[in-house]
Structure 1
Amino acid sequence: MDGNGRWARARGLPRTVGHNSGAEAVRQAVKGAVACGVEYLTLFGFSSENWKRPAAEIDDLMGLLKLYLRREIEELHQNGVRVQIIGERSRLGADVVKLIEAAEARTAANQRLTLTIALSYGARAEILLAAKRMAEALQRGELTAADVDEDRFGGFLLTAGMPDPDLLIRTSGEKRISNFLLWQCSYAEFVFIDKHWPDFGQDDLKSAIAEYLGRSRRYGAAE
């Protein structure tokens, strides 16, 4: 979800306005995903590197997150959307974590769409954590070296139980992965969009999906 600040700056507006408009784009993305029959939608809301931003901006972002969790969860639940949050929760405030846990519990049984939001998330840290967890399982004798393979390792990631992404959409003209789902995106197709995130709508999602469907995925094999 790139470009909230740049979107606001281009209009002579505070960055907070961009983040608020970005929240509306989240609503549109979720609605579009449901309409298209997408079963899993993962959004990169706040990276581990974003903690380097000014404290005032972080406070605004956390306030917006809390507002979203309070206002949107019931509608998401009624629409059959399951909400889950991945990332380093220990860095989030206790009030934020409480709202996250309530949202996850409220929507846990829903199956129409799984909406995963990455908060305080970094893929390298996720992979390192998974490696540590696997090492601990080996030390406890729950696994042997012969048990270790890609599927087993994937079970220690924060996205355990979810399929790997088929499509990654990057907004704001950026053309890099930025420490997001490095393991899981091994064979994902990428679509780059010049629009900033606040301008991203359902039609943009549909166009990206259509482009993806028109590609041939060979997974390293010859045509």
Structure 2
Amino acid sequence: MKVISFLNPKGGAGKTTAVINIATCLVKSGYKIAVVDTDPQRSISNWNQQDKAIFDLYTAENEKDVYQVRKQLTGYDYVVIDGAGSLSIITAAAIMVSDLVIIPVASSPLDFSSSGSVLSVLEAQAYNRQVPAYYLITQSKNHANMLKIIKNNIAHTGIPRLINSLSYYEGFKTSLIDNGTIFDTKNGKAIAIVQLLTSEIITLLKTEGNDETSI
């Protein structure tokens, strides 16, 4: 079992959109997936009010619940943690139990600035166990100049970014509003983006942790 956390205390960075669609892609690829909603606003839980999720959904009320993930969810291939939209002790707990941390940032200086707090926790955790982390650029369409700035800023952190980005397509927003995922739409290009991104993440887990699964 591998744990992947999507963390950025800035709301609207694309964490929940990424988690829902990547977790769905993993299930469609044959894996048993649990998603842990740690956001006090319960974004994923609210989205799933009609029980359309094809992954198993859990909530974490506090950091103690997050620490129990590895003990209580052992029957899954992957556990995906949706981080809170604010910096809290739950963020540190998520990093401690993770095999991989993904830091979503939109083409916005505020998103990038907020991600610095995650980097600080990662640096502190490295004294015990270094957790691999990668930036994920989201909502990158139609923001070419800002996108270039964000990429340059990321390069200076020493944290690599994923090759694939979660480009902003209207289908992502529309599908979530309808309590679905991009796979419920006919937007083939957006679906392909999620598939490529999911494949890249699985490949990284294989490289970082000698994981034998593939997509």
Regarding TM over 0.5, the answer is no
Which structure is higher in helix share? 1
Larger radius of gyration: 1
| TM-score, length basis structure 2 | 0.39
| TM-score, length basis structure 1 | 0.38
